[in-house]
């Protein structure tokens, strides 16, 4: 009987520790250059609420999807040199969002760390695998049939993923296995990332307070 009470007490302590970690997992980042002025805020333990304004309609749509399906609350306010093109704004949002995520993760104690999945979007299918390792790396394999979706350059999908991975400190593999509709291909990439983040960032109550690495630290 005493052993049972001790087990329950340990579980309660672990759950309480996990909740305490979750309270701290938010961050705000501001980035200002001659090309862009950006403010990003994230809450990794939110409900997927988004407040996105970049001036790029398709990009806003992708970031809305990212928030909704990751359950991360994301605010992005960006003003950039859109009269030139969308490159600087897209890349710099990726940088700022990645930095905010990295700050919110903190020492990464208790996180699940790994996740992988297949994300279908009608005829398109994308595979996403992530290691929240603190060691940034991106492998991105997706072929688009057109230069643009609406006014958005399809090549900027990879640029955003590159900026996000390098600044969030994650190892990320994204590969579209097949697909013919460029909107669907991009959407499967962003939704796949969202679901991978949702799983990998989640706190495992059994490992609360532990660094999920045999090294005892992440990012070295």
pLDDT tens digit sequence for 98-147: 999 999 999 999 999 999 999 999 999 999 999 999 999 999 999 999 99
pLDDT digits (tens, 9 = 90+) for 141-198: 999 999 999 999 999 999 999 999 999 999 999 999 999 999 999 999 999 999 999 9
C-alpha neighbours within 13 Å on the C-beta side of residue 47: 1
Instruction: Reply yes or no on whether the pLDDT at 15 is more than 90.
Output: no
Q: What is the distance, to the nearest Å, from the Cα of residue 134 to the centroid of all Cα atoms in its chain?
A: 13
Domains contained in the chain, CATH given: 2-207 (3.30.230.40)
**Can you give the pLDDT at residue 211?**
74
pTM, two decimals, is 0.88
Q: Do the beta carbons of residue 47 and residue 73 sit within 8 Å?
A: yes
Alpha helices in 39-181 (DSSP H): 57-70, 87-105, 155-168
Backbone angles phi, psi at 22, to 5 degrees: -60, -35
Task: Specify the residue for token string 């990009």.
Answer: 59
SS3 (DSSP) at 110: coil
**Can you give the pLDDT at residue 82?**
96
């Amino acid at each position: 009987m005493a052993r049972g009470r001790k087990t329950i007490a340990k579980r309660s302590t672990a759950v309480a520790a996990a909740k305490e970690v979750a309270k701290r997992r938010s961050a705000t980042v501001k980035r200002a250059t001659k090309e862009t002025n950006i403010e990003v805020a994230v809450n990794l333990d939110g409900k997927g609420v988004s407040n996105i304004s970049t001036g790029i309609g398709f990009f806003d749509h992708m970031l809305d999807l990212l928030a909704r399906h990751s359950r991360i609350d994301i605010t992005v306010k960006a003003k950039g040199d859109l009269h030139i093109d969308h490159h600087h704004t897209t890349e710099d949002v990726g940088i700022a969002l990645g930095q905010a995520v990295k700050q919110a993760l903190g020492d990464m104690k208790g996180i699940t760390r790994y996740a992988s999945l297949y994300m279908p979007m009608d005829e398109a299918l994308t595979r996403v695998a992530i290691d929240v390792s603190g060691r940034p790396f991106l492998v991105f394999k997706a072929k688009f049939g057109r230069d643009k979706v609406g006014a958005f350059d399809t090549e900027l999908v990879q640029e955003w993923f590159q900026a996000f991975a390098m600044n969030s400190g994650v190892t990320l593999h994204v590969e579209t296995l097949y697909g013919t509709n460029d909107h669907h291909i991009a959407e499967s990439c962003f939704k796949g990332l969202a679901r991978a983040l949702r799983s990998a960032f989640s706190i495992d109550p059994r490992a609360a307070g532990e660094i999920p690495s045999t090294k005892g630290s992440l990012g070295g």
